[in-house]
Structure 1
Amino acid sequence: MKLACIDVGSNTVRLLISEVNNRGKLKRLNTKRVVTHLGSALSETKALNITGKNLTVKALSKFIDLSKKYNVSHIYAVGTSALRESKDGQEFVDTIRKLLDINIEIISGQREAQLTYEGIKASLDNVDHTLILDIGGGSTECVYMEGEKIMHTSIPIGAIKLYDLFIKKDPPSKEEIIDAKTYVLTKLSNSKLAIDKPFKKELLATGGTATTLATIDLEINRYNGQKVHLHRLTRQRVLHIFKQLINTPFKERLKLKGLEKKRAKIIITGLLILIEIMDFTKSKALTISDYGLLEGLMFEKSLEANSFSTHRT
């Protein structure tokens, strides 16, 4: 069975086309991603970025055409933080449905975290002692196990949101970095992480900030999921890369090997959030995952399809 899954995020629209067999094993057939900055300036305007909306529609149209070439049985799409929080999110989803005949499910932070957990779980033998982190454009999702219960907290900070709020100079000033750090620490201190204290767990990060960190560390310009997946960095190495980036002007930053041009601005705030969480949870290292929400959605929908097929039989 072939399926296509799409994630409409605050910064990126991503596509995963996979074949899933009856045992639930996933084979990736194609992946695509387009940076749209859909959630840019959302914290100020409360509305989706107009250019980002146009880029999102174009990306979705191309993704749908590509999916049809693979003869997928269904295309599933979900929307996260930007569509959840914007005043025109549902209106945009309705417009896309009329234009492209595709329904985008705006999912809660809880469901986003659950899908991310399931996607990562499929690629690892055991995640019971893992704190899973997904730094998005508008929010940061944290998932971890407490006994047999999956715990989740959605923290209202993301790479785009933090950049829009604090970074005005190029390169950012010391005061801007300090103010941004203080803001992140306040949000963390008021989150469930401060109550549950999942501090003796392995830290595993997924999403654009994490995978970009890996490509910078690996010095690869062409994204390679196999190389990125399970790449490990110490806190010292993450901090070294962060300091290098915040002390480099934007135009010079564009030349850095492994850094995608459209992420050259918000990678600063994405890594700032990551480092603050590492310090808050006393993590000395982290592992990067190329799996996440899309894989979780793919497994969920394939199970539903198999269950429906079995029921009909």
Structure 2
Amino acid sequence: MRYAVIDTGYNSTRLCIYDLFPNKTFRILGSQKAYLRLGEGVKEGLPIPAEKVSEAERVFKSFKTILDKKGINNIKLVGTSAFRYASNGNQVAELLSEIIGAKMKLLSGEEEGKFSAMGSLNTLPVDSGVIFDLGGGSLEVVYFSSRQIKEVYHFPLGALKLAKDFSDENELRKKVRNELSILKPSNGVIIGSGGNVRALGKMDAKLSAFPIKSIHGYELYIKQVSKYSKVLMNLDAEERSNLPGIGKERSYTVHTASVIIEELGKILDSSTILISSFGLREGVLMESIIENPREKWLEAFANWFNVDPPWEVYNYFDDFYMKVTSYILAVIKMTGFLDPYDTCYKLLRDITIPGFTAKEILMISLLCKASSGKLKKKNLGPLRKVLNKNKLLDKGKEIRKIVESSVAGVL
């Protein structure tokens, strides 16, 4: 089933088009984003300015053209903090709804937090901890346990909102600490979503030469965020835009975002953040929390290539990494690639596969390379100090034997 989700917030609006599969996983077919900044300058009781509304109309008409050409009628339209703050939020929502032909749902802070948490929970292998979604106008913090949402907190600490209100770093930190003082430490993993979180992850990955392009499931250390925040707060927007992974649009907000993330990490008593490339839109699309996300996403991987999931190959091994590697290789082999091993190695470094962390994808890609028999020590990258090349090559031989003996995923 094909769906479109349009998420319009304080800073930006984005249209995403998905194939939604029966097991509730998805494939992203395309997206378009515009930095409308509807919430810029809007405070409680003030309207979204007429020029911002006109720009939103233009963007939504372009979205409508895409949706009509694709023949998509299943459309989910949501609005967040800008609409909550503005005195004319409901009227603007109605206007944009008429253009698209679907009613915009204005989310409360709690609803925004729950949907964002669903998007992350459904795409990462996590059990308990805290998920935060940092947007342009607000911050949502969600505690979860046994993959179930327990508590939702909402704060007026958006990265764009604070960038406009605070120029002094000490005052900014004081504001953030005061707002977040009601939070308690996390008993599990910390997951962060939102454009600025991803921008910091991209910058860190590039600076550390991490070989996987996708930053979904990438581990970002709070001590690094602390270093970045001190630098970013002392640069102007143009200087920030020239940093790796940042770009022009994020240069206006990434400095305040880094301070918020640093202070949040300290309060939650965490040394790392696991970055999620998915959040609110995917939560709105999926509507509920799925169980066994790893196997659901492996099934989705086969769906992407329109082949049957090779579960017999997957179930042959007990070792987690060998199971997943052999499964992915079998899918690629069935798809018709002449060299599935090299294709697997390159593909996993250039694609986002939900359900796994970035380090897990890196390890699986190395086993794909090992299965070709061409693994070099330089291929190990950041794992070269903890992995034994010869052991990987031995595992690769076993994997290749099973993959080669399979016929259409059957052993």
What's the TM-score once normalised by structure 1's chain length? 0.84
CA contact (8 A) 1:9 1:79 kept: yes
CA distance in 1, matches of 2:20, 2:100: 25
CA distance in 2, matches of 1:6, 1:204: 23
For 1:114, the aligned partner's letter is: K
CA distance in 2, matches of 1:159, 1:81: 12
**Are the structure 2 counterparts of residues 69 and 207 from structure 1 closer, same or farther at C-alpha, using a change threshold of 3 Å?**
same
Deviation at 1:6, TM superposition (A): 0.7
CA distances 1:220-275 after superposition (whole Å, capped 9, x unpaired)? 9xxxx961211111112112222221222222222222112122121111111111
- Corresponding residue of 1:308: none
- Corresponding residue of 1:184: 176
Which deviates further from its counterpart, 43-52 or 147-156?
43-52
CA distance in 2, matches of 1:149, 1:256: 36
Of structures 1 and 2, the larger Rg is shown by 2
CA contact (8 A) 2:218 2:275 kept: yes
CA distance in 1, matches of 2:55, 2:274: 31
CA contact (8 A) 1:131 1:198 kept: no
CA distance in 1, matches of 2:145, 2:66: 41
Deviation at 1:99, TM superposition (A): 4.1
**Are the structure 2 counterparts of residues 98 and 149 from structure 1 closer, same or farther at C-alpha, using a change threshold of 3 Å?**
closer
Q: Residue 247 in 1 paired to residue 239 in 2?
A: no
- Percent identical among aligned pairs is 27
> Structure 1: 5+ residue runs without aligned partners?
168-175, 304-313
**Are the structure 2 counterparts of residues 95 and 177 from structure 1 closer, same or farther at C-alpha, using a change threshold of 3 Å?**
same
CA distance in 2, matches of 1:205, 1:149: 15
CA distance in 1, matches of 2:85, 2:255: 23
- Corresponding residue of 1:276: 263
Equivalent runs, 1:225-244 vs 2, <5 Å: 227-244=214-231
CA distance in 2, matches of 1:27, 1:244: 37
For 1:94, the aligned partner's letter is: E
How many residue pairs match? The answer is 284
CA distances 1:168-216 after superposition (whole Å, capped 9, x unpaired)? xxxxxxxx10001101111112x4x2xxx24222111001111111222
- Corresponding residue of 1:103: 103
- Corresponding residue of 1:113: 113
- Corresponding residue of 2:296: none
For 2:229, the aligned partner's letter is: F
Secondary structure at the aligned position of 1:46 is classed as coil
Deviation at 1:289, TM superposition (A): 0.5
Equivalent runs, 1:302-313 vs 2, <5 Å: none
**Are the structure 2 counterparts of residues 199 and 98 from structure 1 closer, same or farther at C-alpha, using a change threshold of 3 Å?**
closer
- Corresponding residue of 2:352: none
- Which one of the candidate residues 192, 213, 230 is aligned to 1:205? 192
For 1:140, the aligned partner's letter is: L
For 1:75, the aligned partner's letter is: I
Equivalent runs, 1:55-74 vs 2, <5 Å: 55-74=55-74
> Structure 2: 5+ residue runs without aligned partners?
291-411
- Corresponding residue of 1:142: 141
Which deviates further from its counterpart, 156-165 or 63-72?
63-72
CA RMSD of aligned residues (A): 2.2
- Corresponding residue of 1:18: 18
- Corresponding residue of 1:31: 31
Runs of 4+ in 1 over 6 A off after TM superposition: none
CA distance in 2, matches of 1:136, 1:41: 15
**Are the structure 2 counterparts of residues 149 and 94 from structure 1 closer, same or farther at C-alpha, using a change threshold of 3 Å?**
closer
- Corresponding residue of 1:309: none
Which deviates further from its counterpart, 6-15 or 211-220?
211-220
CA distance in 1, matches of 2:23, 2:157: 38
Which deviates further from its counterpart, 74-83 or 210-219?
210-219
Deviation at 1:58, TM superposition (A): 2.2
Deviation at 1:3, TM superposition (A): 0.4
Secondary structure at the aligned position of 2:263 is classed as helix
CA distances 1:23-65 after superposition (whole Å, capped 9, x unpaired)? 2221111122211111111238733244433332222222222
CA distance in 2, matches of 1:281, 1:23: 33
For 2:175, the aligned partner's letter is: Y
CA distance in 2, matches of 1:19, 1:99: 23
- Corresponding residue of 2:154: 154
Secondary structure at the aligned position of 2:258 is classed as helix
CA distances 1:51-85 after superposition (whole Å, capped 9, x unpaired)? 43333222222222222333323111100011112
